[in-house]
Amino acid sequence: MNYSDNKYATLFNKQKTNQFLVGNTSYKERIGKLKRLKHALEVSYKQELREALYKDFKKPHLETDLTEIYPVIDEIKFVTKNLKSWLERQKVETPLALLGSSSFIINEPKGVCLIISPWNYPINLTFGPLVSAIAGGNTVILKPSEMTPNTSKVMAKIVAELFEENEIALVEGEVEVSQELLKLPFNHIFFTGSPAVGKIVMKAASEHLTSVTLELGGKSPTIIDDGSHLEKAVKRIIYGKFTNAGQTCIAPDYVLLKSSLKSEFIELFKTKVLEFYSENPETSDSYCRIVNRKHFDRLVSHLEETKTNKGSIVSGGNYNATDNFIEPTLVLDSPEDSKLMQEEIFGPILPIKTYETIEEAVSYVNSKEKPLALYIFSKSKKTINYVLQNTRAGGTCINHNLLQFLNHNLPFGGSNNSGIGKSHGIFGFQEFTNQRSVLKQHTLGAVDLLTPPYNNWKQKLVDLTLKWF
Ligand code: NAD
């Protein structure tokens, strides 16, 4: 097949030609590249990135620092500390039957990789995986989302300044660009986005048996049982839900609340939203906007459906199309067939559903796809263990939310509908490397004694091997 009939194929071929040069770099050279990226993020381009994200959806500078720049810098520091040992040959034991040989594992680069990222944390979710890909010794084509064009432009500048395009290149453009890229025989595709597009990516990857990491989304539940410290729980949930105006893959999507806590929860919600974002969140400098009109309209249709379809808005509910503002909103009694309870919300609307027993809450969670995150607020070890043992999720945070993303010793990712494969730390490095097994024969091996022609003596040797080794 000819892959050289457009500019993406040309770029791909350049990287393919260069892959061994990049793959044979030492850990020191790779760390050098990561340090240059770190410097661009925390010094030379920090202000430009902040301003770009503010232009894209009024993201507060502090949130850009904390949720976009810091995680990538922290990932670089972690990789810098550990890369030498990750790249060392790992010796493994030799079974007796293979006497005379030795074995080891090499973490070799996958080769030419594609990273497709979403708009909601464009820096973090483009450069975060890039850190793992560089650590693994790969060449990379990055394709950020078309929905945050100002941020993509700055990221493109950074990449062009730091790297030759036959090693790392960033291409901007609409969905069609991703579709063209997906036709190419990459060695690995790292995709972050929705489960629906994840399926398209996996289908395209199957054409070339390209390995994939799919970091997807879904409805992440938060369970609050009656033993929890409610005030602290509500404060943390509001932080987790309304950071980035709810446009976070691991934001609490809905709350399952012990029914006796309902009125207290509503009052606390109102108090804390007031504390965080003032009486008029539209004028708050700490609250961003919905990324574009399409997503704004989608969320407004959820609010309108709630008004006409029995559910009730107990706090918030205002919106303003001028700059895609939607107020932090709490919804009660949303019917099961509503869009709020069926689709990933990905915005500042929090439905709560009450339950009587923890078994009921768990069975509700299990009636849906496996979530990317599941949160439990409880003081009871028994309840926490019950929920952990009787549900499935990509990750869990107990008595807080979002924080599981920040520990590089934890694998980050989903399970089935919420994702395939993991990122961060050694887990991200492993996605971008092939664990190549190597066995070296030093002396005469047992198998050398068993080659044809077979005879009784050799049969006895096999019998002994089966019995004793
Ligand atoms: P999306 O799936 O619409 O788009 C993601 C990327 O895929 C974008 O770069 C887009 O240009 C590209 N794309 C879109 N349609 C495509 C197609 N038909 N063919 C090829 N490429 C295509 O997701 P989004 O709206 O950017 O982000 C929101 C989703 O991402 C949510 O579901 C959220 O939960 C998920 N997400 C997951 C994580 C995670 O780490 N697991 C992080 C952030 C967001």
Q: Is residue 385 part of a domain?
A: yes
Is the domain of 198 the same as that of 264? Answer: no
Same domain, 13 and 128: yes
* 386 in the same domain as 371: yes
Q: Are strands 139-143 and 168-170 parallel, antiparallel or unpaired?
A: parallel
Asked whether residue 261 is assigned to any structural domain, the reply reads yes
Return per-residue pLDDT of the chain as tens, 469 residues.
Answer: 445 569 999 999 999 999 999 999 999 999 999 999 999 999 999 999 999 999 999 999 999 999 999 999 999 999 999 999 999 999 999 998 898 999 999 999 999 999 999 999 999 999 999 999 999 999 999 999 999 999 999 999 999 999 999 999 999 999 999 999 999 999 999 999 999 999 999 999 999 999 999 999 999 999 999 877 999 999 999 999 999 999 999 999 999 999 999 999 999 999 999 999 999 999 999 999 999 999 999 999 999 999 997 789 999 999 999 999 999 999 998 999 999 999 999 999 999 999 999 999 999 999 999 999 999 999 999 999 999 999 999 999 999 999 999 999 999 999 999 999 999 999 999 999 999 999 999 998 888 889 999 999 999 989 988 888 7
Task: Give the number of domains in the chain.
Answer: 2
CA 284 to centroid of ligand 1, rounded, Å:
28
Centre a 10 Å sphere on the Cβ of residue 357 and count the other Cβ atoms it contains. 10
Residues 402 and 428 in one domain: no
Answer whether residue 462 is part of any domain.
no
End-to-end CA distance of the chain: 48
Residues 329 and 188 occupy one common structural domain: no
Instruction: Please indicate, yes or no, whether residues 287 and 392 belong to a single structural domain of this protein.
Output: yes
CB count within 10 Å of CB 220 equals 28
397 catalytic residue (yes or no): no
Which pLDDT score is estimated for 393?
98
88 is catalytic: no
Question: Which entry of 113, 249, 288, 397 is annotated as an active-site residue?
Answer: 249
pLDDT of residue 2: 45
Instruction: Give the CATH number of the domain where residue 254 resides.
Output: 3.40.309.10
Distance of alpha carbon 376 from the chain centroid: 20
Q: What's the domain range around 58?
A: 7-216+420-435
Q: Are 187 and 161 in the same domain?
A: yes
281: tokens are 């969140």
Residue 445 maps to a domain: no
Per-residue confidence (pLDDT) for residue 88, from 0 to 100: 98
DSSP letter assigned to residue 99: T
User: Helices marked H in 346-455 — which ranges?
Assistant: 358-366, 381-390, 425-431
- CATH number reported for the structural domain that contains residue 165 in this entry: 3.40.605.10
Q: What is the DSSP letter of 66?
A: I
Whole-number Å distance, alpha carbon 174 to ligand 1 midpoint, is 12
Q: Could you tell me if 179 and 226 lie in one domain? A: no
Closest CA to 213 of 88, 125, 281, 82: 125
- The three-class DSSP label of residue 76 is helix
Ligand 1 atom nearest to CA at 196: 2
Decide: 178 in ligand 1 pocket, CB within 6 A.
yes
Position 1 scores a pLDDT of 42
Quickly tell me which residue has 């990379």 as its tokens. 140
Q: How far is the CA of 196 from the centre of ligand 1 (A)?
A: 8
Do 199 and 230 fall into the same domain? Answer: no
Our CA angle for 158, 144, 118, nearest 5°, is 130
Of ligand 1's listed atoms, the one at least distance from the Cα of 175 is 11
* Closest Cα to atom 34 of ligand 1: 217
The secondary structure of 170-197 as a DSSP string is: E----HHHHHHHTTS--SEEEEES-HHH
User: Has residue 455 been placed in a domain?
Assistant: no
Same domain, 91 and 120: yes
Instruction: Please check whether residue 312 lies inside any domain of the structure.
Output: yes
Give the distance (Å) from ligand 1 centre to CA of residue 118.
5
The protein residue with its alpha carbon nearest to ligand 1, atom 31, reads 194
User: 63, 68, 75, 215: which is the annotated catalytic residue?
Assistant: 215
Paired strand residues for 416: 419
Q: Do 212 and 226 belong together in one domain?
A: no
Could you give the CA distance from residue 165 to residue 186 in angstroms, rounded to a whole number?
16
14: CB partners within 8 A, 6+ apart: 165, 166
Residues 228 and 257 in one domain: yes
Angle of the 122-136 helix axis to the 27-39 helix axis, nearest 10: 160
Reading the block at residue 219, the tokens are 């409805």
Residue 173 CB neighbours (<10 A):
15
Domain-embedded: residue 388 = yes
CA distance 269 to 274: 9
**Residues in a beta bridge with 76:** none
Are residues 290 and 57 in contact, defined by beta-carbon separation less than 8 angstroms? yes
